[in-house]
Structure 1
Amino acid sequence: MSRADREAAARRVLERRPPPVPPELHGDAVRLGARLLRRRRAALRLLWLVLLAGSVAFTVWALTVRPWVEPPSETTPPLTGWWLPGD
């Protein structure tokens, strides 16, 4: 099949009248689209809720554990009662 034959076949397909659409198809498509939008909206709300809960949990954990504070040293005894130069 040459290029001209393929182009002619494509033109014939495009020039045909489209088949009639069943009347109930529009209503079905609208219901399906509305259901998909509701599911997407619910999934996004759930995602934001999980993100918010995670950030609150992290904040509470960070405020109680305080990981940025250096733990007290347990290997060196405190220097109380020693003579220090300059005292």
Structure 2
Amino acid sequence: MSGTGRREDEVRRMLEGPHPQVPAELAASAAERGARLLRRRRTLRRLWVLVAAVAVCAVWALTARPWEGPPAQAPPVESW
């Protein structure tokens, strides 16, 4: 018998046998942990969007320099 067939037989025997008892609070704790992971992932995603927006605004401000007014227009020089 090949290694794969032997493994399949072992798995079948394990599934047919008596199943171990699962703690009653396992489902609740797993759901709580999953919700916590989703909240953390959502918060990190929002934080990265905020960081990207700040970076874009900083680059725009450094290139456009909106705090400086338009250049002053010098009056035309008249020749004599």
Q: TM-score, normalised by structure 2?
A: 0.66
User: In structure 1, what residue type is equivalent to 2:62?
Assistant: W
Deviation at 1:57, TM superposition (A): 0.5
Query: Does 1:58 find its partner at 2:55?
Result: no
Following TM superposition, the consecutive aligned residue runs of length 4 or more in structure 1 with deviations greater than 4 angstroms are none
User: In structure 2, what residue type is equivalent to 1:21?
Assistant: V
Gaps of 5+ in 1: 65-87
Query: Does 1:3 find its partner at 2:16?
Result: no
Counterpart CA distance in 2 for 1:9 and 1:31 is 33
Deviation at 1:27, TM superposition (A): 1.0
Deviations 1:26-76 (A, max 9, x none): 111111111111110110010000000000011111102xxxxxxxxxxxx
Counterpart CA distance in 1 for 2:29 and 2:11 is 31
Structure 1 residue aligned with 2:38: 37
The structure that has the greater radius of gyration is 1
Provide the secondary structure at the position in 2 that maps to 1:20.
coil
Counterpart CA distance in 2 for 1:9 and 1:61 is 66
Q: TM-score, normalised by structure 1?
A: 0.61
RMSD: 2.0
> Aligned residues, how many?
63
Counterpart CA distance in 1 for 2:31 and 2:53 is 33
